[in-house]
């Protein structure tokens, strides 16, 4: 047993951390989605290739790499399409020769893929609603999981793809997507590989949440130290100390479940990730709400990272039904 | 003991119901249901205020000597309950609930004659200048100075969290008139015309994207001494009176119960954890309603307010936040929409995914986080309860 990062893993973490630290500080965190230029720069640095399977020409990074990268993204409250585009769509198309041209551009950060659950094949064409699709306005192509469970690839340029912009609570632009007789390419991916891709996507979300929790706790501890009321720092009040200490316990418990799911054997992974989502979905939102409360009025403004961080945590913690759906899945 | 309405109360409730059915237009109801902030926006608020004033029910909670309808505490509660169930707009309270009672309690006859009618007609729209950047929970440390110069005070300072100041033309403010005494004793209560030179309002955008809050900068504003309410140095007592009204002046539970019922209508049946959460919130809100009612009934029968009345703002904040969080979860991904356009009932709003209620859910959730902060944080409320109810 060993919980230390390898040299290579530490290098990846440092690279991502430096990249993000050069671009985001408390004043700019979570102000909006990462710029396309920065996203492309991450592609050029090889970050997406690192996380892509070897059969798609990637380096085959696994759960630990996903955890490292996503936690850093969360720590900077960076708003990116990493989970859906790189992990879910990237893996969905990895084994498919036809889809390969998208995979290369995706790894370079030049093309964006979005994931749309919904729709059905009728007379050889995709029809129906794709629902609210994250990053769906900017997507060049979509991976669709139909109601019948088939995986398809469609080109965003297809005239049958209808998109309405929907701004989400973290400021990112989703699309409300409808498919109107869209040409679709069936993707061939073994069920186990798709389950693994979904597990890694779930892991990425909880890792981002843990990173965000760490930042929100840091910001809160800094704030209560410098905010004075009644002639002393509010950090000197026991009630404030205890609240911060409680936040710390939520963070550490969350990190434990994150590590457990990243280090789980492959056959245990789905359950471990679901368990992490079940706990962290609630813990992250509670922590973010406490961070806002301890910042007082400043916490509810758009001016501080803590209020914007609550928005990002709200979105990430509620995706795919959040902790509620995860607990229902565990109980089933 | 019984909780049944008497025949007169029953008739009164029917009268209120008939009035609301006739006066509350679908547009007002829709506007109120799709309001993301704490108070109705001016377009809706002005219309509803005029309708209530014409009926004589605008200042329903003022005593008859101040121009109110002379209702008992239980009648006021019936009115609030019916308004909540009908989905009436929530009028901004800074004038009607906060400075109004201060004026009829502490104001001179001239101040009452001048300000109360203008408050009711909405010629004057009021904002509250209490908090400062360095004085939130520790309000008594406020630093806005008022220096006497003949018949005027020269006022300089910086107020913050001033709700709807962008729509207001009058500000009531706590200012320091004497820096040499104990902090609480050096404070006075001033009425400030926001058209005076030296008043500047700067918006604060909320995390929700709503513009409800502001900073107000006062730079050598010359305020007539005749616009001081109460004596010099009496501001802290007046502020305590006002804050008691802000925290406990009206009932919280009726609006929460009505919103919860409307939420269940718009989401359809809830299952599993969501159903469980809805039930728990329902029970908390029902208990709060009874807690509020107990105090009202006791006051109606001549008792002094019980310290339990200090619990309601704290409890209402928690339940309100729970309801708004439940709404986000109950609408699924559609509950995570957050358009930048405002208001949600306006013509510029993009077509909602799901329903208009889903579209406003995230903004309402984010704004509801302020409930446990404004009007005295939940931490301050708990301290007050420990002192007043338990003697700790």
B242, B268, B303 - which closes a domain: B242
Residues of B with catalytic function: 246
Q: What is the mean pLDDT of chain A?
A: 96
* DSSP code at position B5: P
Task: Give yes or no: residues B54 and B153 share one domain.
Answer: no
Interface membership of A97 toward B (CB under 8 Å): no
Residue B372: inside a domain, yes or no? yes
B391 Cβ contact partners less than 8 Å away, ≥ 6 residues apart: none
The per-residue pLDDT for B130 is: 97
B225, B242, B259 - which closes a domain: B242
* DSSP code at position B170: E
Interface membership of B216 toward A (CB under 8 Å): no
d(Cα B376, Cα B382) in Å, to the nearest integer?
10
Task: Give yes or no: residues B128 and B207 share one domain.
Answer: yes
- Name which of B318, B333, B348, B378 to mutate to probe chain A: the one with the most chain A Cβ atoms within 10 A of its Cβ: B333
Task: Report chain B residues whose CB lies below 8 A from the CB of A171.
Answer: 338
Interface membership of A162 toward B (CB under 8 Å): no
Task: Give yes or no: residues B210 and B294 share one domain.
Answer: no
Interface membership of A233 toward B (CB under 8 Å): no
The per-residue pLDDT for B235 is: 97
Question: In this model, does residue B249 exceed pLDDT 80?
Answer: no
| Per-residue pLDDT tens digits for A181-216 | 999 999 988 888 999 999 999 999 999 999 999 999
Task: Spell out the SS3 assignment of chain A.
Answer: CCCCCCHHHHHHHHHHHHHHHCCCCCCCCCCCCCCHHHHHHHHHCCHHHHHCCHHHCCCCCCHHHHHHHHHHHHHCCCCCCHHHHHHHHHHHCCCCCCCHHHHHHHHHCCCCEEEEECCEEECCEEEEEEEEECCCCCCCEEEEECCCCCEEEEECCCCCEEEEEEEECCCCEEEEEEEEEECCEECCCCHHHHHHHHHHHHHHHHHHHHHHHHHHHHHHHHHHHHCEECCEEHHHCHHHHHHHHHHHHHHHHHHHHHHHHHCCCHHHHHHHHHHHHHHHHHHHHHHHHHHHHHCHHHHHECCCHHHHHHHHHHHHHHHHHHHHHHHHHHHC
Task: Give yes or no: residues B258 and B381 share one domain.
Answer: yes
- 3-state class of B298 per DSSP? helix
How far is Cα of residue B257 from the mean position of the Cα atoms in its chain? 17
Range A191-331 classified under CATH 1.20.140.10: yes
**Is A318 close to B329, i.e. CB distance below 8 A?**
yes
Task: Give yes or no: residues B377 and B283 share one domain.
Answer: yes
Could you say which residues from 66 to 125 on chain B have a Cβ atom under 8 Å away from some Cβ of chain A? none
Task: Give yes or no: residues B256 and B380 share one domain.
Answer: yes
Task: Give yes or no: residues B229 and B276 share one domain.
Answer: no
| Per-residue pLDDT tens digits for A68-86 | 999 999 999 999 999 999 9
Residue B227 is part of a domain; what is its CATH number? 2.40.110.10
Given this structure, which CATH class describes domain A112-186? mainly beta
B220, B242, B264 - which closes a domain: B242
Architecture of domain A7-107: Orthogonal Bundle (1.10)
* Dihedral over alpha carbons B11, B16, B17, B21 (to 10 degrees): 140
Count of the separate structural domains present in chain B? 3
pLDDT category of residue B248 using cuts at 50, 70 and 90: low
| Per-residue pLDDT tens digits for B57-74 | 999 999 999 999 999 999
Residue B172: inside a domain, yes or no? yes
pTM over 0.90: yes
**Is A230 close to B136, i.e. CB distance below 8 A?**
no
% of chain A residues with pLDDT over 90: 92
Residue B309 is part of a domain; what is its CATH number? 1.20.140.10
| Per-residue pLDDT tens digits for A85-124 | 999 999 999 988 888 889 999 999 999 999 999 999 999 9
Task: Report chain B residues whose CB lies below 8 A from the CB of A284.
Answer: none
ipTM computed for the complex: 0.96
Stretch A26-39: mean pLDDT, rounded?
95
Task: Report chain A residues whose CB lies below 8 A from the CB of B373.
Answer: 293, 296-297, 299-300
Task: Report chain A residues whose CB lies below 8 A from the CB of B378.
Answer: 293
| Per-residue pLDDT tens digits for B160-182 | 999 999 999 999 999 999 999 99
| Stretch(es) of chain A classified as CATH 2.40.110.10 | 112-186
Cα of B12 to nearest chain A Cα, Å: 40
Task: Give yes or no: residues B299 and B180 share one domain.
Answer: no
Residue B97: inside a domain, yes or no? no
Task: Report chain B residues whose CB lies below 8 A from the CB of A315.
Answer: 336
How far is Cα of residue A332 from the mean position of the Cα atoms in its chain? 25
Task: Give yes or no: residues B238 and B256 share one domain.
Answer: no
Q: What is the mean pLDDT of chain B?
A: 96
Q: Which domain holds residue B277?
A: 251-388
How buried is B297 (Cβ within 10 angstroms: 0-12 exposed, 13-18 middle, 19+ buried)? middle
Interface membership of B131 toward A (CB under 8 Å): yes
Question: Checking DSSP bridges between strand A125-133 and strand A161-167, what pairing results, if any?
Answer: unpaired
| Stretch(es) of chain A classified as CATH 1.20.140.10 | 191-331
Question: A98 or B212: whose pLDDT is higher?
Answer: B212
% of chain A residues with pLDDT over 70: 100
Of B131, B204, B328, the CB nearest to A318: B328
Residue B55: inside a domain, yes or no? yes
| Per-residue pLDDT tens digits for B185-200 | 999 999 999 999 999 9
Task: Give yes or no: residues B198 and B275 share one domain.
Answer: no
Taking CA–CA distances from A177, the nearest residue in chain B reads B353
């Amino acid at each position: 047993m060993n919980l230390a990062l390898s040299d290579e893993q530490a290098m990846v973490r440092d690279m991502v951390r430096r990249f993000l630290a050069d671009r985001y500080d408390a004043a700019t965190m979570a102000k909006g989605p990462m710029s396309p230029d920065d996203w492309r720069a991450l592609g050029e640095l090889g970050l997406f290739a690192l996380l892509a399977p070897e059969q798609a020409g990637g380096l085959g990074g696994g759960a630990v790499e996903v955890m490292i990268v996503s936690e850093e993204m969360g720590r900077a409250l960076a708003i990116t399409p990493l989970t859906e585009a790189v992990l879910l769509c990237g893996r969905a198309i990895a084994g498919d020769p036809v889809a390969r041209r998208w995979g290369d551009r995706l790894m370079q950060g030049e093309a964006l893929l979005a994931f749309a659950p919904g729709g059905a094949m009728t007379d050889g064409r995709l029809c129906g609603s794709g629902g609210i699709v994250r990053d769906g306005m900017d997507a060049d192509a979509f991976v669709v999981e139909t109601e019948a469970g088939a995986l398809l690839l469609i080109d965003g340029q297809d005239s049958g793809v209808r998109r309405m912009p929907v701004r989400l609570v973290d400021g990112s632009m989703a699309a409300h997507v409808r498919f109107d007789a869209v040409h679709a390419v069936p993707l061939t991916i073994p069920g186990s590989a798709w389950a693994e891709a979904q597990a890694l996507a779930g892991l990425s979300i909880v890792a981002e949440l843990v990173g965000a929790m760490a930042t929100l706790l840091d910001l809160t501890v800094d704030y209560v130290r410098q905010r004075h009321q009644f002639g002393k720092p509010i950090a000197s009040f026991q009630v404030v100390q205890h609240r911060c200490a409680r936040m710390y316990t939520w963070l550490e418990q969350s990190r434990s479940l994150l590590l457990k799911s990243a280090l789980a054997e492959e056959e245990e992974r789905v359950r471990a990730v679901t368990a992490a989502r079940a706990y962290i979905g609630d813990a992250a939102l509670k922590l973010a709400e406490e961070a806002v409360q301890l910042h007082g009025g400043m916490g509810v403004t758009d001016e501080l990272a803590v209020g914007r961080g609550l928005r990002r945590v709200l979105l990430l913690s509620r995706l795919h039904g959040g902790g509620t759906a995860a607990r229902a899945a565990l109980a089933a | 003991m019984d909780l049944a309405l008497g025949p007169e109360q029953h008739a009164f409730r029917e009268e209120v119901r008939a009035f609301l059915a006739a006066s509350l237009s679908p547009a007002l109801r829709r506007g109120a249901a799709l309001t993301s902030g704490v108070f109705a926006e001016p377009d809706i608020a002005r219309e509803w205020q005029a309708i209530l004033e014409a009926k004589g029910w605008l200042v329903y909670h003022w005593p008859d000597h101040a121009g109110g309808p002379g209702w008992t505490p239980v009648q006021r509660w019936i009115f609030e309950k019916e308004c909540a169930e009908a989905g009436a707009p929530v009028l901004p309270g800074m004038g009607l609930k906060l400075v109004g009672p201060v004026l009829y309690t502490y104001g001179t006859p001239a101040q009452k004659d001048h300000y109360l009618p203008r408050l009711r007609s909405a010629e004057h729209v009021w904002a509250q200048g209490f908090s400062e950047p360095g004085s939130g929970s520790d309000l008594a440390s406020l630093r806005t100075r008022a220096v006497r110069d003949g018949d005027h005070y020269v006022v300089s300072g910086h107020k913050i969290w001033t709700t709807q100041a962008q729509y207001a033309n009058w500000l009531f403010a706590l200012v320091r008139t004497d820096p040499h005494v104990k902090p609480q004793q050096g404070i006075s209560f001033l009425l400030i015309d926001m058209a005076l030179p030296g008043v500047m309002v700067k918006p604060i955008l909320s995390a929700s994207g709503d513009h409800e809050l502001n900073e107000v900068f006062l730079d050598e504003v010359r305020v007539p001494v005749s616009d001081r309410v109460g004596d010099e140095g009496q501001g802290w007592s007046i502020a305590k009176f006002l804050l008691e009204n802000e925290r406990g002046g009206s009932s919280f539970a009726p609006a929460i119960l009505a919103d919860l019922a409307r939420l269940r209508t718009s989401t359809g049946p809830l299952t599993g954890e969501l159903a469980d959460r809805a039930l728990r919130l329902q029970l908390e809100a029902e208990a709060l309603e009874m807690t509020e009612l107990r105090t009202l009934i006791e006051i109606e029968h001549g008792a002094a307010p019980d310290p339990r009345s200090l619990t309601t703002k704290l409890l209402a904040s928690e339940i309100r936040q729970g309801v708004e969080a439940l709404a986000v979860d109950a609408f699924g991904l559609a509950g995570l929409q957050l358009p930048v356009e405002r208001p949600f009932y306006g013509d510029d709003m993009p077509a909602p995914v799901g329903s208009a209620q889903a579209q406003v859910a995230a903004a309402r959730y984010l704004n509801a986080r302020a409930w446990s902060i404004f009007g005295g944080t939940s931490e301050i409320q708990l301290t007050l309860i420990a002192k007043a109810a338990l003697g700790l």
